Structure 1
Amino acid sequence: MEKFTNDRDKFLKQIIKELKAFPKDPNWEPLFQYLELPYFLTYGFAYNYSFNEELQQYRLLSREWNATYDNNRFDKGIYNLNRIAIVEKIVPDEEYDLSSSTNLANLKKVEIESIVLDGLICEMNSPKLSKPLIWNVDDEMNVALQNLVFSLRDLKKFIP
C-alpha cells in the first residue's frame, strides 16, 4: 500500500533514508558513506566507498535523488513516500581517485559560531570514526574533510 504525506519533514527523512540505503555485501568492507542534501530539497546524493580484500579492489557506489522530477510530481505538497526517484550507479574506477583523500582518522568538524538558516544536511560516516560527522555549512569542515567532500562533489558531473 502506498504511503502519502503532506508533511515535508517526513518526505525529507524518507529521502535521507533511501539515499543511505546502499546494498549490504559481506564481500565489501565499508570505508565511508557520505550524504549531502540541501534544506531546500533541490538535489541530494550519497556515496558509499568500500574495499574488497579478495579482489584487492575499491568500489564507489552513488545514489542520487532526482529532485527536479520529484518536485514536479509532488508540486501540490502531497508526497508519495514509496516512489522517491533514486538512481544507484557504480562510479567507474577511472572517474575518481580518492587515495589521497581517504585518511579517515584526520576527518574532523570545526566548531563555528553562527546561525545557519538554509544550509546543507551533510553526514560522513565510517567504521573508523567514533561517531558520524554531521554539519550544515562548508566552514564546519577541516581541510582533510573539505578535500574529500569537494572531491566527491566533483564526481557528480561524471554520473550520467
Structure 2
Amino acid sequence: MERFSNSTEAYWNQIQKELLNGYDSKDFRFQYLEMGQLLSHGFSIAQTKRNSTQLIVKVWDAAYDNKRFSKRIFNLDRLAITDKKVELTGQELERINRLLNTKLDLTNWGGIVLDGLFCQFEINNKKMDWNVNEEINDNLTELVELLRSKVR
C-alpha cells in the first residue's frame, strides 16, 4: 500500500531520506546532500571506501514531482529519484583526496537566509549543516563546487 500525505514536511523528509538511503556510514568515505529550501532541486553524492574512483550520485527530479503533486498530495513511495555512478579522473580523485585531508569546517557567518539551500556534509561521523556557501570555509567550498559539477 502506497503512502500519501498532504504534509510538505513529510514530503521533504522522504526526499531527504531517499537521497541518503543506501549509504552505510561504515562504507562511505563521505556523503554530501543538497536540497533547495523551496523544493527546487535535490541531490546527494557519496564516495565509498570500496571504490574511491567513482561517486554515487542520486538526483531528485523536482520539476517532475512538483508538477505531479501540484494539488499538494504527495505520493511518498514514488519519488522521481535516479542514481548513477560517475567515474573520477585521476586529477579529480587527487583533488578530492587533498581536500579531504584539509580542515573542512563551518565559519561564523552571521547572515540571514530566507530561501537558500539545505546542505549537509558528513565525513568520519562529523556532520555539518549549512544554508549558503558563506557559512563554510574555503576548503569545503572548493570540495562542494567540485561535487556540484559532477551532478550536471
TM-score (norm 2): 0.89
Tell me which amino acid in the other structure corresponds to 1:16. Answer: Q
Q: Which runs of 5+ in 1 are unaligned?
A: none
Counterpart contact for 2:120–2:130, Cα < 8 Å: yes
Task: Name 2:19's counterpart in structure 1.
Answer: 19
* Percent identity of equivalent pairs: 36
- Alignment counterpart, residue 116 of structure 1, candidates 110, 113, 116: 113
How many angstroms apart in 1 are the aligned matches of 2:77 and 2:108? 37
Aligned ranges 1:1-12 → 2 under 5 Å: 1-12=1-12
How many angstroms apart in 2 are the aligned matches of 1:43 and 1:145? 21
Counterpart contact for 1:35–1:47, Cα < 8 Å: yes
> Alpha-carbon deviation of 1:75?
0.6
User: What's the secondary structure of 1:75's corresponding residue?
Assistant: coil
How many angstroms apart in 1 are the aligned matches of 2:30 and 2:121? 7
Aligned ranges 1:30-49 → 2 under 5 Å: 30-49=28-47
How many angstroms apart in 2 are the aligned matches of 1:114 and 1:147? 21
Tell me which amino acid in the other structure corresponds to 1:9. Answer: E
Counterpart contact for 1:95–1:155, Cα < 8 Å: no
How many angstroms apart in 2 are the aligned matches of 1:40 and 1:7? 14
How many angstroms apart in 2 are the aligned matches of 1:115 and 1:45? 24
Alpha-carbon RMSD across the aligned residues, in angstroms, is: 2.1
> Alpha-carbon deviation of 1:94?
3.9
